[in-house]
Structure 1
Amino acid sequence: MKILLAVDGSAYSKKMLAYLSTHEALLSPVHQYTVLTIQPTLPPRARTALGKEVVERYHAEESEKVLAPVSKFLLRHGINAKTDWKVGPAGTTIAKLADAGKFDLLVMGSHGHSALGNLVMGSVATQVLAHSGVPVLLVR
């Protein structure tokens, strides 16, 4: 199975990984994993003032802060996952990448860093559910 793990470094991403580690059917070396994080787009004035190279380096560094601990966690469980990061609106970007990558399953936490904005289910999770043709496993 080809599984996409959407992470943002929040407590809900950590809970999602903990959930996977207790379910051998989901966390197994027989599956292919890609770990994805989405960086929000910087405001146009900031991008212009900083320049393309600085902005790209910033996004890469911020993404690595999220992806490195997840990769380390997966390696401890015998899984060498691919990593990827994109810049844009999180919900639609995750959904598009899941569809385009022909993933069999998308796994993510039910909330992220902006959990207070949407108490029942995070706004990113809501957007992913609305736009993705891939089955989504939300971990609370």
Structure 2
Amino acid sequence: MKILVAIDGSKNSLRAVKYAARLAHLLRTASKKITLISVHDDTGLRHARALVGKAEVADYLRELSEKELKSARKLLKDDGIGYDMEIRTGHVAQEIIDCANAGKFDMIVLGSKGRSAVADLLLGSVAQRVLSNAKQPVVIVK
């Protein structure tokens, strides 16, 4: 079973990694491998790109993603589970869905942000968008 886990550096995303690791052990997946994905929306950084350059903004977002992935990578390594990483920029929910489709993943696992129902209604959430639009089963971990 191919599992894609979205990471944003939050405690809930680490819980999602732990859940996916347990699932990989329980299912005894042949490869015991999970793919971690970190996505940052770069649309708000247009002015920064104009000031400091595209390469600097891309480097900054890559460093941020690697920092967010560090705990998840350690957790999987300590648990004896292999992993791949995807680092992307763009609309977060859409990038997760696109990655899941392109990689032919069987499941998407992500943590919830824990906002109130009113805030989610007004702002929307990545988890809700992925849940609504993904073809694969989606597990949201609190």
Q: TM-score range by the shorter chain?
A: 0.7 to 0.9
Matched letter for residue 3 of structure 1: I
TM-score (normalised: structure 1):
0.85
1:8 maps to what in 2? 8
Q: Can you give the 5+ residue segments of structure 2 that lack an aligned partner in the other structure?
A: none
Of 94, 104, 110 in structure 2, the residue corresponding to residue 102 of structure 1 is 104
1:70 to 72, 91, 116: 72
Higher-helix-fraction structure: 2
Deviation of 1:64 (Å):
0.5
Residue 52 of structure 2 corresponds to which residue in structure 1? 50
TM-score calculated relative to the size of structure 2:
0.84
Residue identity in the other structure for 1:83: M
3-state SS in 2 of match to 1:133: coil
Deviations 1:58-107 (A, max 9, x none): 01100100112111110001112011110111111111111111001111
Unaligned residue ranges in structure 1 (runs of 5+): none
Distance 1:26 1:50 in 2: 47
* Cα separation, 2, equivalents of 1:99 and 1:38: 15
| Fraction of identical pairs, as percent | 36
In the alignment of these two chains, the number of paired residues is 136
CA distance in 2, matches of 1:70, 1:129: 22
How far did residue 30 of structure 1 move? 3.5
- The alpha-carbon deviation at position 32 of structure 1 amounts to 2.8
RMSD (Å) for aligned C-alpha atoms? 2.2
